[in-house]
């Protein structure tokens, strides 16, 4: 059974097999968690990302972690919030499923996700947490024993609490 939980941490410091990057379509870095991951991994990450771009919304790409403690970085492009009627929920769920598929294909046993699309992309945080937890729950049910550890990483206590509540609701 997978240890599935929310934690407050700096995702760039986690010693897991894979961390997920809330990337933009160019995969070349940006603000928020994307910029932090690129800074921590070093210039080699940009060079590894160049041939993988563009990355469409909902899809994911994998690279080495370079200077990060994580062996891999899985880059996924979340949807920009347009009010909820432009397929945003399906695209956000696809980010989680596709990232988990790449992790499993890379034999990763532990993975850490940031909040995807909740920063400058404007996705409502509580709704994004619910979608993340439900998509993850469904993937884990279909891929029993694929992972040992799955973390939702909040940058502060309030974001971590949203993901902890979403996990609890998804498990009930």
Instruction: Name the residues annotated as catalytic.
Output: 34
Burial of 80 (0-12, 13-18, 19+ CB in 10 A): middle
* Cα 24 to Cα 54: distance, rounded to the nearest angstrom: 9
Phi/psi of residue 99, nearest 5 degrees: -65, -45
Own/partner pairs, 96-99, CB within 8 angstroms, 24+ separation: 96/131, 96/132, 96/135, 96/136, 96/139, 97/135, 97/139, 98/58, 98/59, 98/60, 99/20, 99/60, 99/74
* Cα 112 to Cα 110: distance, rounded to the nearest angstrom: 7
Q: Are 132 and 163 in contact (CB under 8 A)?
A: yes
């Amino acid at each position: 059974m997978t240890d599935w939980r929310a934690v407050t941490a700096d995702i760039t410091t986690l010693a897991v097999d894979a961390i997920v990057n809330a990337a933009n379509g160019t995969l070349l870095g940006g603000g928020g968690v994307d910029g932090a991951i690129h800074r921590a991994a070093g210039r080699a990450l940009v060079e590894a990302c160049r041939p993988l771009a563009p990355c469409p919304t909902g899809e994911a790409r994998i690279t080495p972690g370079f200077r990060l403690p994580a062996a891999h970085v899985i880059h996924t492009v979340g949807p920009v919030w347009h009010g909820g009627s432009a397929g945003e929920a399906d695209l956000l769920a696809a980010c989680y499923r596709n990232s988990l598929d790449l992790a499993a294909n890379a034999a990763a046993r532990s993975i850490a996700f940031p909040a995807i699309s909740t920063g400058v992309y404007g996705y409502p945080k509580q709704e994004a947490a619910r979608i993340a937890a439900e998509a993850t729950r469904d993937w884990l049910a279909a891929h029993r024993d694929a992972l040992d550890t799955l973390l939702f990483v909040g940058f502060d206590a309030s974001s971590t609490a949203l993901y902890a509540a979403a996990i609890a609701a998804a498990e009930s």
